Structure 1
Amino acid sequence: MELKKSTVTKSCIMLCLAMLGAGAHVSAQAQKGNANVIVYKNANAPVDARVKDLLKRMTLEEKAGQLSTLLGWDMYEKNGSSVGVSQTFKDVIAKRHIGSFWATLRADPWTKKTLETGLTPKMAAEATNALQRYVMENTRLGIPLLLAEECPHGHMAIGTTVFSTSIGQASTWDPALIQEMAGAIAKEARLQGAHIGYGPVLDLVREPRWSRLEETYGEDPYLIGQMGIAMVKGFQGSKINSGTNVISTLKHFTAYGSPEGGHNGGIALTGPRDLYVSYLPPFRDAVKAGALSIMASYNSIDGIPCSTNPFLLKDVLIKEWGFRGFSVSDLGGIPGVRTTHKVAATIDEAAALAINAGLDADLGGEAYGDALIKAVKDKRVTMATLDTAVAHVLRLKFIMGLFEKPYVDVAAAEKSVGTEANRQLAKRVAAESIVLMKNEGNLLPLKKTIKKLAVIGPNADNIYNQLGDYTAPQPAAKIVTVLEGIQAKVSPDTKITYVKGCAIRDTAHSTINEAVAAAKDADAVVIVLGGSSARDFETSFQSTGAAEVKASEVAVSDMESGEGYDRVSLDLMGLQSQLLQRVVAAGKPVVLVLIEGRPLNINWAAAHVPAIVNAWYPGQEGGNAVADVLFGDYNPAGRLPVSIPKSIGQLPVYYNYKSASRHDYVEMDAKPLYSFGHGLSYSSFDYSNVRTTVQETAGNLKVTVKFLLKNNSTVAGDEVAQLYLRDDFTSVVTAEQQLKKFQRVHLEAGQQKEISFELLPEDLKLLNAGMKWVVEPGAFTIMIGASSEDIRLRDKFEISKQVAVK
């Protein structure tokens, strides 16, 4: 009996083992089958199929979470040399299924992240890896995060390279250089775990009182478009899943840069034709270049907030331009539909208006959380509309390869961010951006052997005043100021006396008498004035990040530009004008260097100071670049991307005004002080022998313009040759002149080169009375020169037949 029982037991064991083995085999087969069924996890499946499969598996709440981009800097915890996810992060993932964060690695006074409390590049990579690992391992569907960062002139994080701000980038008139710069910025951001770079800013600006001019490429749609294309190509590269590129988010869609009264986010006064002709082309160019994301602006156009404007977000962006990325609000832009624009009574109504208009994602996350869920449940938003927005976001996560490779290499981030090569690149960008505006009597370049030099002014030795808005904290040793650049440049025997003189805004403290004494004792003076976008920890901020301007500040910061700091005038603030006039009265040769974020009133300087150099905000290597120009180691060739007005009473003043009655005022003429495209050199150039040929055949139109450009000086240098066009008589009012082509050309002393430009229907078109793009038959005038005012060559050509342009 016992033997029989034992035999049975043994048989049962063997049977169970066999069944377990079979079960294991079946389980493996089932898993293999499930791998085929779970399409979104299959890296070899088409992206659209993966998106469709994942959408089917998501709840309403999970979909809403994918459209909310929360502020990211509280999502990590730093403990000494280690970093991990915060409880805040765990809570929002569990409760809201968040799919995106913004500014996780940002450091500045608003975020309260300093050099001590913020993250090094190595720790940044560790932090983003920790965030990704948590969502991949602790959420139902394992959808990786999209992490967006501010990247307009460098990734706004600790340890990264700080380049010239955008207005300086535009002053290079060198798209190839800007593309190289954008590639460097993208790599630094991506290696730390970012996927999206906010930028470029493509706002056409006709209002210099507006606080954000420094973030733009100026007043001309063609120049802005060329810079935008360069930035998009540099950010995104040829493969967005390369591991060193980021998605480019275009800002701010649209007509944000010319607000009524200069008020940031104010009403845009533009009609449909001007919108298509002036404000939309840079965005169109960047979209055609492949941009994968775009941000709706805060303003309204003709009574419709951009965040809820289906004409912009659907008709123009998707139907006309074929945009294949995703759109996102500016921070708090959707709640602003209710609080600022007052076209929605509740937040869920604002959410419904925005997503129904085609706005995919919500930066800030206030609107596309419970409010959007409620709008869907109340049937004000269809599930199809929600799915379309979610699909736009998910598609990019798949395209970037984040489901397969959500993590970054920490060692690569530590090694490849803030490199010497990028520092040298920052110096190149800064040098090319510098505009020599005046050089009477060839005062510049100065001699390095000068015996006594006075360096004066509030911006001569202030690192943060040199860097612009959207800049992270910096160690002082990393930034080269103008004073430091000069000290490193001149002979050891040169005596340099530095006196600050005054602050940018503060009038309570000054050392003007000491500055005048230094000037009298010097052989020459370099005075560095202008403005500042440097934020400090005493400044208070709105929820959007814009600064709160206090009219009755006691301890006055230097900040007079940067987001939120709109101006009522363009005068030099504080005691700067007094300082300049008293220093000039000392009777020594004076060079004025401007470090600024917007064009300022320099009428007095233009009349009384022999040499003026505009460096905008030149970035971390700005001091070295300025010194190279001042002492002749670099021959300047920067050109103004925006006109410099004589008075705010002229505003708006821009070169490409439409044919109309534009005449002088009682007090002054109507021309700007310095025109668009202006910039001098230590070389001189001759333009000659212009030849224009027209090829008109069925389905083809091409105008070729050739001319000779010669450096007739003894100094090698760059010239920016500019081609402007006027359609002489048209069916609708068009611009008196419009930039159509340009080329930055290097010529050795005495060298001559033939320059050739091709004009295609895209360059010759106008928007006719029927709102159709056409090239009209008739006469055209070509103007070629060194600026919009300095035209050296003219020619005419005729088009015989109308050409439709798509």
Structure 2
Amino acid sequence: MRPEFHTAPDGTRFRDLNGNGILDPYEDPRLTPEERTDDLLGRMSPAEKIGLMFQTVIEIGPDGELLETPGAISKSPTTDVVVGKNMTHFNVHAIRTAREGARWNNNLQRLAECTPHGIPVTISTDPRHAFVENTGVAFSAGPFSQWPEPLGLAALDDLEVIEQFADVARREYCAVGIRAALHPQIDLPTEARWGRQAQTFGFDAERVSQITAAYLRGFQGDELGTESVACTTKHFPGGGPQLDGEDAHFPYGREQVYPGGMFDYHLEPFREAIRRGTAGMMPYYGMPVGLERNGVPIAEVGFAYNRQIVTDLLRDELGYDGVVVTDWELVNDNHVGDQVLPARAWGVEDLDPTERMLRLLDAGVDQFGGEECTELLVDLVESGTVPLERIDVSARRILLVKFRLGLFDDPYVDEDAAERIVGNADFRELGTRAQAESLTVLQNRDDVLPIRSEPRPRIYAENVGDSALAAYGDRVERPEDADVAIVRVGAPFEPRDDLFLEKWFHQGSLDFGPGLVSRLGRVAAHAPLVLVVGLDRPAVLTPFVPIASAIVADYGSSDAAVLAALTGAVPPRGTLPVEIPRSMEAVRRSRTDVPGDTDEPIFPRGTGLSIVPA
């Protein structure tokens, strides 16, 4: 059901959001977003303004209904946060079907109409068009079209395809009411062990800047408008130089270091994002250690707490005046079931939640990610500790984005259209082709690739589904009976599960265990081995070079896409957007912030062989 529109005497259609029966300036679609923002800001209570400054997770109830209980991740019933706390920004997690997502959006927007000024909700999402399933980072595609991870888009090295992906994702997001993307992630992964590389575009700053421009064009257009998805670019000023590659979600990964003096190199893609008008910017959790800039030491606190980073650098030096939203849970510890993840208050762990909030506000942030503790900020304003003028600065930035997106005029979506648009056949075909083309052939001894179709090959395969394989050959159970062996493996990591979220992060050594190397050596002794390695991080592939006839990197591809590439049905054209180190010792010796700094990489950045179909 769509909202009721009213008609002014001159014929202008509008939504009477505050229910007073007249066309107020903030309800008037003929006025500019700036004019409407100024009018609404003057009408709002302090509690309403404060509610704008929080963004957290809420979940979809069964069949698209509102979830009026705490969820698996979300902490409060929906009505409590929308009506009780005046919150209007929410990050959605699981979307089971397009119709359910659209229905939930409409139910949520109807609830928002019950608030004093009917301020519409902005729904955001982490990436959800690829394969990684990690509650703290990204979601697998579900009903949406499925593409390679961003690292695979970078491997394609095709700006037109990247903009096409962003445009498809924008159309699918809009169909279900998602109007904000918590991406692109344009960190430069200069530490090979870092666990968040799959969502990056590699470590070449110039090329990542060009990709950033294409990505933002696809999602936002040339400027933010009624057909846009507003992007929050992350993680300023670059999250790649993590000490030992440990991720800053966790206390042991809080430090970022710059032994090569490359801090400004990591800024380059963010400069481009600012030029292209990114709606939001998100600082990383990391805490710079031993960093000086222009001869001035940078405070050793998490970037969002750091006034030198958010205000002096991002706002004043780089000229950014969009919304700065923190990464999740910087104020309070995160309690999920019986698990606790400490607040990522790196460098200010000794402060209490109120003091942390004050530090974040002083740094210059506009919105607290993963938090719903509006009462803390209400108390700070009522006590006079935080002037209302400071709240107005952030509220204005946040409202401007809502007005530019057209949410005040109509935030509702069509459930039937959502089903037609999301994951339609054309979008899925584009995504599957990109999956196949992004595969990167690193080694092809004796031209084992492409796998010939005549005579029909006998294939020994591991971790490849029957239906995909049957389209190209006959499965055999023993390598001894095979014409070729295809084995899919993931990049190695050290399993951890002590802290909440930790089990989903692939961290630690990049070395494969000796057992796998030995076993695949035996497979290769009987049939040419085609090794397909899923690179969510670089892996030390050196032990496989002597035994594998072909080594192929994939960055999120279905079995069908992999087989299409290996047979040349869709010729792969990917090139490495990062380097593959020769050894873990080379990784340990490399400088954390310097791109391409491992000694004599076994496969340098840019490696990628072409294969010619028979």
Q: Does 1:327 align with 2:324?
A: yes
1:520 counterpart = 2:480: yes
The structure 1 residue matched to 2:27, chosen from 37, 41, 45, is: 41
Letter in 2 for 1:342: V
2:315 is aligned, of 309, 313, 318, to: 318
The range that moved more, 210-219 or 122-131, is 210-219
Whether 1:613 aligns to 2:613 is: no
TM-superposition CA deviations, 1:48-78 (whole Å, max 9, x none): 22212212222222111111112111xx432
1:89-139 deviation digits (Å, cap 9, x = unpaired): 112223211111111xx22xxxxxxxxxx6421121111101111111x11
For the 8 Å contact 1:128–1:193, the answer to whether it is kept is yes
Secondary structure of residue in 2 paired with 1:636: coil
Cα distance change on mapping 1:387 and 1:268 into 2, 3 Å: same
Instruction: Measure, in 1, the Cα distance between the counterparts of 2:534 and 2:187.
Output: 22
- Is residue 199–residue 250 contact of structure 1 (8 Å, CA) maintained in 2? yes
| Partner Cα separation in structure 1 for residue 492 and residue 146 of structure 2 | 16
Q: How does 1:546-625 map to 2 (within 5 A)?
A: 546-547=501-502, 549=503, 562=504, 564-567=505-508, 569-573=509-513, 575-586=515-526, 588-618=527-557, 622-625=558-561
> Which structure 2 residues correspond to residues 657-676 of structure 1 after superposition, within 5 A?
670-676=599-605
Is the aligned partner of 1:129 residue 2:118? Answer: no
Alpha-carbon distance in structure 1 between the residues aligned to 2:210 and 2:411: 33
Q: Report if the CA contact (8 A) 1:263-1:566 is conserved.
A: yes
**8 A Cα contact 1:453 1:526, kept in partner:** no
For 1:441-456, what aligned pairs fall within 5 Å after superposition? Answer: 441-456=446-461
- Cα distance in structure 2, aligned partners of 1:659 and 1:437: 20
**Count of residue pairs the alignment pairs up:** 556
Tell me the TM-score normalised to structure 1 length: 0.65
* Residue 70 of structure 1 pairs with residue 6 of structure 2: no
Query: Amino acid of the residue matched to residue 112 of structure 2?
Result: V
How much has 1:287 moved relative to structure 2?
2.0
C-alpha separation in 2, matches of 1:657 and 1:316: 19
1:358-757 superposed matches below 5 A: 358-366=364-372, 369-457=374-462, 459-461=463-465, 484-490=467-473, 495-497=474-476, 518-531=478-491, 542=500, 546-547=501-502, 549=503, 562=504, 564-567=505-508, 569-573=509-513, 575-586=515-526, 588-618=527-557, 622-651=558-587, 670-682=599-611
- Match of residue 262 from structure 2: 274
Q: Please tell me whether the aligned partners of residues 122 and 411 of structure 1 are also in contact (alpha carbons under 8 angstroms).
A: yes
Aligned match of 2:205: 221
Aligned equivalents of 2:343 and 2:380: distance in 1?
15
- Shift of the alpha carbon at 1:419? 0.6
Note closer, same or farther for the CA distance 1:486–1:119 as it changes in structure 2 (3 Å cut).
Answer: closer
Q: 1:294 aligns with which of 257, 275, 281?
A: 281
Q: 1:520 to 1:205 in 2, by over 3 A?
A: same
Q: SS of the residue aligned with 1:438?
A: strand
Equivalent position amino acid for 1:98 in 2:
M
Q: 2 CA distance for matches of 1:310 and 1:386?
A: 17
1:226 is displaced (CA, Å) by 1.8
Q: Distance in 2 between matches of 1:258 and 1:658?
A: 8
Q: Structure 1's 179 and 307: CA in aligned 2 closer, same or farther, altered over 3 A?
A: same
Q: Which residue of 2 aligns with 1:356?
A: 362
Secondary structure of the 1:403 match is coil
Matched to 1:247, the amino acid is A
Q: In 1, are the aligned partners of 2:125 and 2:178 still within 8 Å (CA)?
A: yes
The farther-off stretch of 642-651 and 37-46 is: 37-46
Q: How far off is 1:210 after superposition?
A: 1.8
| SS of 2:146 mapped into structure 1 | coil
1:101 aligns with 2:77: no
Q: Distance in 1 between matches of 2:487 and 2:406?
A: 52
Which structure is richer in relative contact order (CA contacts within 8 A, separation 6 or more)?
Answer: 2
What does the per-residue CA deviation read over 1:396-453, in whole Å, with 9 as the maximum and x for residues that have no partner?
1111111111211111101110111111111221122111101112221121124542
Q: TM-score, normalised by structure 2?
A: 0.84
Query: Structure 1 541/418 Cα, relative in aligned 2: closer, same or farther at 3 Å?
Result: farther
Match of 1:796 in 2: none
Give the % identical residues: 27
1:252 aligns with 2:235: yes
Amino acid at match of 1:584: A
Contact 1:186–1:234 (Cα < 8 Å) also in 2 = yes
Instruction: Decide which structure has greater strand share.
Output: 1
Q: Where does structure 2 lack aligned partners over 5 or more consecutive residues?
A: 1-15, 70-76, 131-138, 290-299, 333-341
Shift in Å, 1:659: 12
Distance across 2 between alignment mates of 1:644 and 1:160:
31
Judge conservation of contact 2:433–2:570 (CA < 8 Å) in 1: no
Question: Residue 73 of structure 2 aligns with which residue?
Answer: none
Alignment partners' CA distance in 1, 2:179 and 2:48: 21
Q: Secondary structure at the match of 2:521?
A: helix
Deviation at 1:636, TM superposition (A): 2.5
The one-letter amino acid paired with 2:217 is K
- 1:380 deviates by 3.5
Quote how far apart the aligned CAs of 1:170 are: 0.8
Q: Is the 8 A contact 1:653 1:672 kept in 2?
A: no
Structure 2: which amino acid aligns with 1:166?
P
Q: Mark the CA change 1:488 to 1:168 in structure 2 (over 3 Å): closer, same or farther.
A: same
Distance change (3 Å), C-alpha of 1:366 and 1:145: closer
Aligned partner of 1:56 in structure 2 is: 42
CA–CA distance in structure 2, aligned partners of residues 658 and 139 of structure 1: 50
Task: Give the AA of the match of 2:475.
Answer: I
Asked if structure 2 preserves the Cα contact closer than 8 Å seen for 1:204 and 1:218, the reply is yes
Q: Deviations over 1:215-245 (max 9, x none)?
A: 11122111222222221111112464344x3
Q: Kindly indicate whether residue 271 of structure 2 is the aligned counterpart of residue 284 of structure 1.
A: yes
Which residue is equivalent to 2:179? 195
Kindly indicate whether the alpha-carbon contact (under 8 Å) linking 1:452 and 1:521 is maintained by their aligned counterparts in 2. Answer: no
Of 44-53 and 372-381, more deviation after overlay is shown by: 372-381
Deviation at 1:194, TM superposition (A): 0.8
Moved more, 331-340 or 403-412: 331-340
Is the CA contact (8 Å cut-off) linking 2:260 and 2:591 kept in structure 1?
no
Q: Which runs of 5+ in 1 are unaligned?
A: 1-30, 108-117, 462-482, 499-517, 550-561, 663-668, 684-714, 717-806
CA contact under 8 A between 1:460 and 1:527: conserved in structure 2? yes
Distance 1:572 1:212 in 2: 19
Q: Structure 2: how far apart are the matches of 1:84 and 1:525? A: 50
* CA drift at 1:670: 2.3
Would the alpha carbon gap of residues 289 and 152 (structure 1) be closer, same or farther in structure 2, given more than 3 Å must change? farther
* Structure 1 residues 233 and 655: CA distance shift in structure 2, 3 A: farther
Report the residue type matching 1:632 in the other structure. G
1:574 Cα offset (Å): 8.2
